[in-house]
Amino acid sequence: MFLTSEPQAKSSDSSVLVPAVALAVLSLAFLPIKAFNVSLFLALNSRHSPYSDTVWLGFTTLGDGYLLAIILGAFLLVNPRVTCLGLCLLILSSLVLHSIKFVFPLMRPAGVLESVHVVGPLLRAGTFPSGHTVASFAAALALVHFCSSRAAATGFLGIALLISLSRVFVGAHFPLDILGGIICSLAVYMLLLILIWPKIEPFIPDRPVFSARPFRIAVYMEVLAALTGLLVYAWFYAELPAVAAAVAVAVLAFLWTYYRKQKAAGQV
């Protein structure tokens, strides 16, 4: 399995050092991206076709906070620490995200430009930073933190980047919003690792504990959330219902498979 109970078999210092370097590099890119923000947006957003629109809308759907939460919740049956770190990152980064949006109520591309190719909902306000970017990188960083495979870690971050870029192609965000979202997620990840996670991690098991009532309740809530995603969220709230439904079905299948695996091993 590509997930371990330890963060990539690395020291806590290196767990913070790598994102710190990435944060510094991305921060240096802020002013150059800002200078070409509109031209970059127009260059990317103008590249579209019916097929590519569907693909990018699929990626943007995958970045919905609700879907990412149930994906992270599924790891309760593998390593509950992944779920706890991921949900903490999602919640804290969301709070930071909305605080920034409140302080800097900037307009989206459709609110300031005449020609924008929009796929999905037409949004005009609250552009900086991108919520889908913040959520997707929060989830990816939680998985990477416990990932023992460099290829899998690269894959998680690659998917998060594609979700982020999809927000430009569907006309919802400027490139600067994407960069701001990545920076936001990295900053929250680092602060969480330094200030909060070391205090709560010892109290979270690194294996499923079906004998503990709180764990069973958490699993029941995860199943309910996945069913709600399949029956309600996918068809009434998701940008592309088929993708949201597929994610919910995959999560339910994952839960069932790992439950049977744990039961066969006599751990249930």
Q: pLDDT 10s digit of each residue in the chain, 268 long? A: 556 555 444 445 567 788 889 999 999 999 999 999 999 999 999 999 999 999 999 999 999 999 999 999 999 999 999 999 999 999 999 999 999 999 999 999 999 998 899 999 999 999 999 999 999 999 999 999 999 889 999 999 999 999 999 999 999 999 999 999 999 999 999 999 999 999 999 999 999 998 899 999 999 999 999 999 999 999 999 999 999 999 999 999 999 999 998 888 777 6
Mapping DSSP onto H, E and C, the string for the chain reads: CCECCCCCCCCHHHHHHHHHHHHHHHHHCHHHHHHCHHHHHHHHHCCCCHHHHHHHHHHHHHCCHHHHHHHHHHHHHCCHHHHHHHHHHHHHHHHHHHHHHHHCCCECHHHHCCCCCCCCCCCCECCCCCHHHHHHHHHHHHHHHCECCHHHHHHHHHHHHHHHHHHHHCCCCCHHHHHHHHHHHHHHHHHHHHHHHHHHHHHCCCCCCCCCHHHHHHHHHHHHHHHHHHHHHHHHCCCCHHHHHHHHHHHHHHHHHHHHHHHHCCCC
How many domains is the chain built from?
Answer: 1
Residue 53 belongs to a domain: yes
Residue 61 belongs to a domain: yes
How far apart are alpha carbons 252 and 53 in whole angstroms? 28
Contact 9, 148 (CB under 8 A): yes
Residue 246 belongs to a domain: no
Residue 255 belongs to a domain: no
Mapping DSSP onto H, E and C, the string for 188-242 reads: HHHHHHHHHHHHHHHHCCCCCCCCCHHHHHHHHHHHHHHHHHHHHHHHHCCCCHH
Q: By residue range, what is the domain housing residue 167?
A: 12-211
- pLDDT at residue 11 in the model: 45
- pLDDT at residue 62 in the model: 97
- pLDDT at residue 19 in the model: 86
- pLDDT at residue 238 in the model: 96
pTM comes to 0.93
Q: Which amino acid is at 7?
A: P
- pLDDT at residue 72 in the model: 98
- pLDDT at residue 1 in the model: 53
Residue 67 belongs to a domain: yes
Nearest to 145 by CA among 2, 242, 265: 2
State the first-to-last Cα distance of the chain, in angstroms, to the nearest integer. 20
- pLDDT at residue 267 in the model: 73
Nearest to 186 by CA among 64, 62, 93: 93
Q: How many CA atoms lie within 13 A of 155 on its CB side?
A: 8
How far apart are alpha carbons 135 and 146 in whole angstroms? 18
Residue 207 belongs to a domain: yes
CATH number at residue 21: 1.20.144
Residue 217 belongs to a domain: no
